[in-house]
Amino acid sequence: MINETKTTNPDWLTPEQTCILLGGITTKTLRDWNINHRHRAILAPIRFTHKLVRYERCNVIAFIDKCKSKY
Protein backbone atom coordinates (compact mmCIF):
# COMPACT_ATOMS: atom_id res chain seq x y z
CA MET A 1 0.00 0.00 0.00
CA ILE A 2 1.28 3.45 -0.83
CA ASN A 3 1.79 5.77 2.07
CA GLU A 4 0.62 9.37 1.86
CA THR A 5 4.04 10.65 2.95
CA LYS A 6 5.69 8.98 -0.04
CA THR A 7 3.49 10.91 -2.43
CA THR A 8 4.00 14.39 -1.01
CA ASN A 9 6.26 16.12 -3.49
CA PRO A 10 6.18 19.90 -3.98
CA ASP A 11 5.89 19.42 -7.74
CA TRP A 12 2.83 17.17 -7.39
CA LEU A 13 -0.58 18.78 -7.05
CA THR A 14 -3.79 17.38 -5.64
CA PRO A 15 -6.87 17.58 -7.87
CA GLU A 16 -8.12 20.51 -5.77
CA GLN A 17 -4.84 22.43 -6.18
CA THR A 18 -4.90 21.67 -9.90
CA CYS A 19 -8.43 23.06 -10.18
CA ILE A 20 -7.34 26.30 -8.52
CA LEU A 21 -4.32 26.57 -10.82
CA LEU A 22 -6.54 26.01 -13.87
CA GLY A 23 -8.67 29.01 -12.99
CA GLY A 24 -11.11 27.77 -10.38
CA ILE A 25 -12.77 24.92 -12.26
CA THR A 26 -14.52 22.15 -10.34
CA THR A 27 -13.11 18.66 -9.81
CA LYS A 28 -15.97 17.35 -11.95
CA THR A 29 -14.79 19.51 -14.86
CA LEU A 30 -11.21 18.34 -14.28
CA ARG A 31 -12.33 14.70 -14.49
CA ASP A 32 -14.21 15.49 -17.70
CA TRP A 33 -11.14 17.16 -19.20
CA ASN A 34 -9.07 14.05 -18.34
CA ILE A 35 -11.44 12.03 -20.51
CA ASN A 36 -12.62 14.35 -23.30
CA HIS A 37 -10.28 17.35 -23.72
CA ARG A 38 -8.18 17.53 -26.87
CA HIS A 39 -5.00 18.15 -24.80
CA ARG A 40 -5.67 15.49 -22.16
CA ALA A 41 -2.36 13.74 -22.87
CA ILE A 42 -0.49 16.81 -21.62
CA LEU A 43 -2.50 16.98 -18.39
CA ALA A 44 -1.75 13.28 -17.65
CA PRO A 45 -2.84 12.51 -14.08
CA ILE A 46 -0.67 10.16 -12.04
CA ARG A 47 -2.87 7.54 -10.39
CA PHE A 48 -1.34 5.79 -7.37
CA THR A 49 -4.69 4.27 -6.40
CA HIS A 50 -8.23 5.00 -7.55
CA LYS A 51 -8.51 7.60 -4.76
CA LEU A 52 -4.96 8.96 -4.73
CA VAL A 53 -4.39 11.03 -7.88
CA ARG A 54 -1.72 13.67 -8.41
CA TYR A 55 -0.79 16.03 -11.23
CA GLU A 56 2.69 17.30 -12.05
CA ARG A 57 2.93 21.09 -11.83
CA CYS A 58 4.97 21.31 -15.06
CA ASN A 59 2.31 19.32 -16.94
CA VAL A 60 -0.49 21.57 -15.67
CA ILE A 61 1.41 24.69 -16.73
CA ALA A 62 2.14 23.14 -20.15
CA PHE A 63 -1.58 22.29 -20.46
CA ILE A 64 -2.52 25.92 -19.75
CA ASP A 65 0.02 27.21 -22.29
CA LYS A 66 -1.14 24.75 -24.96
CA CYS A 67 -4.78 25.74 -24.45
CA LYS A 68 -3.92 29.44 -24.64
CA SER A 69 -2.04 28.93 -27.89
CA LYS A 70 -5.02 27.18 -29.52
CA TYR A 71 -7.78 29.61 -28.53
Give the domains, in start order, of the chain with CATH numbers: 10-70 (1.10.10)
pLDDT given at position 8: 60
Average pLDDT over residues 18-42: 96
Average pLDDT over residues 34-48: 94
Taking the whole predicted model, whether its pTM rises above 0.85 is answered as no
Checking phi first, is residue 14 left (phi over 0); if not, alpha (psi -120 to 50) or beta?
A: beta
CA distances from 14 to 8, 52, 60, 65, 69 (A): 10, 9, 11, 20, 25
Helix, coil or strand: residue 15:
helix
47 near 53, Cβ under 8 Å? yes
pLDDT given at position 12: 95
Q: With cut-offs at 50, 70 and 90, classify the pLDDT of residue 1.
A: very low
Helix, coil or strand: residue 22:
coil
pLDDT given at position 46: 94
Average pLDDT over residues 30-58: 95
